[in-house]
Amino acid sequence: MNLKIATRKSKLALVQTDYVIEIVKKFHNITCEKVLTDTLGDQRLDVTLDKIGGKGLFIKELEKAILEGHADAGVHSMKDVPYEMPEGFEIAAMPVREDVRDAFVSMKGVKFKDLKQGARVGTSSKRRASQLQLLRPDIEIVPIRGNVQTRIDKIERENLDGIILAAAGLKRLGMESIITDYFEPNEMVPAIGQGALGIEIHENCKNSEAFKTLDNPIVRLCVEAERSFMRELKGDCNCTIGAYATLHGNTLNVVGIYEVEGKLIKDSVSGNKEDYINLGKELADKILTSGRN
């Protein structure tokens, strides 16, 4: 048996899909091949995602390949997966989560805290930009899009003092050495699902168990709590939102940020891990109430 897995063509997407192919082979002795897709999110780098339909643009073509029978599954970065999935589709497994932190990359090795007054920092994320400006109101935010290498090239080309990228992507690409320093999750709350991989299938998938058995229950619990927070707030790339859940024994802690009436509100909740969906909702209600008072 040979399974087909849809993926975007970026180097990072291919590395992530290779990882899934390796674990399918390891656990089930099933070989897989990649089905390469072009997504609108990858093609249109001249505009911000919210102008062309949001992060779902990175997964629609993969879903189309699955629906049309060209692929059995698709591999995504969970931070690109909208809270509402098309009918019949599900995330069969979240097998792994890398470092959730955001990383600062400066070609001259200048740490974020040592940046000069009025430094130019590149990011296309509203979440990162809003939190950056709380940390350093003097910084000029420069919008940049593209794959990891494209963004790194823009440091010199656009005369930037540095850029913010997800540590997970850099580590998966073997580029950890270029990271100047990290933002801890409590000072810059990560994107929902940041660092986690998701394997998407359709309900008609004949080999669903081959994928479902790869699920990591701790990754699943934490990411689903974050996604519950996002769902409650109807969060997408048009809004400033982030969340990060951590499990300590049976206690789940979820920290989140969300912009309410022009104010960035940050709060957290803790509770029993069995209540992970409700904890996400509780945090959303808490932040909305706080922002409106």
* 126 and 145 inside one domain: yes
The answer to whether residues 75 and 139 belong to one domain is: no
Same domain, 91 and 17: yes
Are residues 199 and 231 both part of a single domain? no
**Closest of 25, 4, 27, 5 to residue 16, by C-alpha:** 5
In the annotation, is 80 catalytic?
yes
Per annotation, catalytic residue among 42, 80, 99, 161: 80
The pTM (predicted TM-score) of the whole model is: 0.92
**78 and 119 fall within a common domain:** no
> Residue 20's Cα: distance from chain center in Å?
17
In a domain, 203, yes or no: yes
Domain containing residue 293: CATH number: 3.30.160.40
Q: For 194, how many CA atoms within 13 A lie in the half-sphere containing its CB?
A: 27
Residue 115 lies in a domain: yes
Say which residues have a Cβ less than 8 Å from residue 46's Cβ, sequence separation at least 6: none
Residue 51's CATH number: 3.40.190.10
Per the CB < 8 A criterion, the answer to whether 246 and 221 are in contact is no
Within 10 angstroms of residue 282's Cβ, the number of other Cβ atoms is 19
> Could you give the number of structural domains in the chain?
3
The Cα–Cα gap between 70 and 68 comes to: 6
Q: Are residues 154 and 284 in the same domain?
A: no
Say if residue 38 is in the same domain as residue 145.
Answer: no
Residues 31 and 10 in one domain: yes
Whether 70 is in a domain gets the answer yes
Structural domain that includes position 199: 1-97+195-215
68 and 116 co-located in one domain: no
Query: For each of the chain's 293 residues, which pLDDT tens digit applies?
Result: 799 999 999 999 999 999 999 999 999 999 999 999 976 544 444 444 444 344 556 788 899 999 999 999 999 999 999 999 999 999 999 999 999 999 999 988 999 999 999 999 999 899 999 999 999 999 999 999 888 888 989 999 999 999 999 999 999 999 999 999 999 999 999 999 999 999 999 999 999 999 999 999 999 999 999 999 999 999 887 789 999 999 999 999 999 999 998 999 999 999 999 999 999 999 999 999 987 87
